[in-house]
Amino acid sequence: MTRPSGFFFFPIESKIAMKILFVNHTFPPESYAGSELCVLNLAKEFRRRGHETAVFYRFTDPAQEEFAVRESQYHEISVYKINHTYRYASTFQDIYVNSAIAAKFAYLLRNVQPHVVHFHHLTNLSLSLVHEARVFGCATVFTLHDYWLLCQRGQLLKRDLTLCSGPGDDACRSCLALQLLRGKTQRFVSRLLQSNRTRSNNSSTVCDLLIKKPAAIHTPQSEFVARTSFALGEEPNETLLAHPPAAIHYLIAITRPAVLKTAIAMHPSTYSCEGAGVRFEIVQNGTILFSKTINPKKHTHHRGWHSVEVDITPTEKTEDQLILRTSSDWDGNNLYCAAGWKHPLIAYRDPLTENTNRIHPRRNEIRRYFFLAAEILADTASAFSSQAKEGILHRKNWVKRIFDETDLFVSPSKFLRDFFIRRGLPAHKILFSDNGFLPPPRWKAKTPQYPIRFGYMGTWIPSKGVDVALQAFQSIDPAYARFIVHGFFPGYDGYEDYEVYLRALSGPAVEWRGKYEPDDVYTLLAELDCLIMPSIWWENSPLTIHEAFQAGVPVITADVGGMAEFVCEGGGLTFRHRDPLSLRAVIQRILQNPEILEDLQFSIPHVKSVAQHADELLEIYTQLQEEKTERDHR
């Protein structure tokens, strides 16, 4: 643990039970990503030691009252989750500062009476929660898991996925144009960008079922069917809510072979509930084209989106009847069964489009220029907008307030700590201390044999750079190496066809697996000789690298950010950031000399345990509490 100057720690055996409230943007069972598992493991460890722990986080359920707080237990930890669907958000400021959430949090503080509030992420909550904790008299600690305090998008990636060097008026205004603008200007720019995105990604679209008015809706309660959004993974996705029983009827003219593209899911708020799953059906003119039942309450691998593509065959009818139908898989039991269809679209399987592209090879290039022109117009509109300037300044001021009112920040990587210091956070207020992890099953050293098994584990969103790895493997002989891709595509705004793009890059050495359960991570890692982490953003302290090291699996990763930092002392190799050819060269080097992987196994560095992490945090909590007591008695 690297300690900032002026902040001294000494071993403390806490004999007084502390009350610790963790705050994060989400938490299991809704999500199992890095910050969520960090909070869960710490809360369990502190509770094991006799301290009182609780967690406050956000969930989304359009069927429930906005800002309703639900109390429950998860692994014997007190959990308080607040419903926030943004249904009342009308300005850019409403995205990151919310007085209603702050008021509910203040009420919770009075009930829980925590000594320490440890913030991990505030996206989808409110920056003002730190102020509430300070006013109440709590010690405040903030672990940084990414760049969200400095970047509303979180990963310092621009809309075109190029890296941003840090917040600035022009850069932020360009990325957030649609959120910053208001009124007629915002609607005009939104339509312009959306229409061009549609031209680029869905040029053969027949019908957008999210927009088209149904011919009929059969449901016992009108609120069971609505246009909303589900947040499953990184970004909220526009969704057609269809709480069972519901049958949504459309009349559509289909003149050529087409495909209905969507995804199905139950809402994450249902995952911890008892009861039924949901059967999804697509019916054309009385014929069931698709039927699938999911029950994420019982089967955790059913959680998240499940992609659906259904062929639609033209008939002699002037209009075809198409039905999206949901029903409970328990007769008569539809409690806690909120479900939805992710942005359902019908598009032609259009050979005319392919022929046109061959006749006009510059068509896609022209589209790119047209979209670029649309973005320039959006940037220009926001540049002359007083609301945009005020919005950026308002968020900057709130972040400065967070810097001032938080007692201590913790950065799991030296890279992230230095980055925040360069952006105005005083060095004495932030220390470096990596996160801790649960010990895995014991692993045995491997002797790699052909084909060498490389792998990727995680979501397939653009920022993770799976395309970089796929390009690197395109010319790799499958007799010598395999690239096993675990995970799924949860959706990503502006890149709706990204999974299609990834699969088009797949070469003969690539094996596509699917979504996996958190409990299966070490089983899957045991099947690999080497893990590849090709992220195109500046990762901080990647969960995947720590898991690989704990499983005895070497890592190949990009030469920037926390990724490079965690392999610099052993256990891995680096390639030039965003460069498939550089990655291929590293892979070829290993294929020519597989003994490299054995050497890397024995150089894997120690991974901090959750117990060690808790020891360090307890020192921090205790010292902050003592300093607060001294100030109160002055």
pLDDT score, position 283:
94
* Residue found by looking up tokens 């992230």 in the block: 416
Instruction: Determine which helix (DSSP H) or strand (DSSP E) holds 283, and give its type and residue range.
Output: strand 278-284
pLDDT of residue 319: 82
Q: Which pLDDT does position 274 carry in this prediction? A: 80
In this structure, what DSSP letter does residue 475 have?
T
pLDDT at 224: 86
The DSSP call for residue 32 is -
306 has which bridge partners?
264
pLDDT score for 375:
64
Whole-structure pTM value: 0.71
What residues are paired with 251 via a beta bridge?
321
Q: For the stretch 262-295, what's the b/e string if a residue is b when 16 or more beta carbons lie within 10 angstroms of its beta carbon?
A: bbbbbbbbbbbeebbbbbbbbbbeeeebbeeebb
Q: Residue 497: name the closest of 456, 534, 457, 467 by CA.
A: 467
Cα 321 to Cα 125: distance, rounded to the nearest angstrom? 42
How high is the pLDDT of residue 6? 46
Q: Tell me the C-alpha to C-alpha distance, in Å, between residue 589 and each of 468, 510, 575.
A: 18, 19, 12
Each residue of 565-604: pLDDT tens digit?
999 889 999 999 999 999 999 999 999 999 999 999 999 9
pLDDT attached to residue 369:
61
Strand order in the sheet with 408-411: 69-74, 77-83, 52-59, 19-23, 116-119, 139-143, 408-411, 430-432
Question: For the chain, which ranges sit under pLDDT 50?
Answer: 5-13, 195-204, 351-362
Which domains occur in the chain, in start order?
19-149+403-436+611-632 (3.40.50.2000), 205-349 (2.60.120.1060), 452-607 (3.40.50.2000)
| 405-451 pLDDT, tens digit each | 999 999 999 999 999 999 999 999 999 999 999 888 777 778 889 99
Concatenated DSSP letters of 575-601: E-TT-HHHHHHHHHHHHH-THHHHHHH
Q: pLDDT at position 631, please?
A: 74
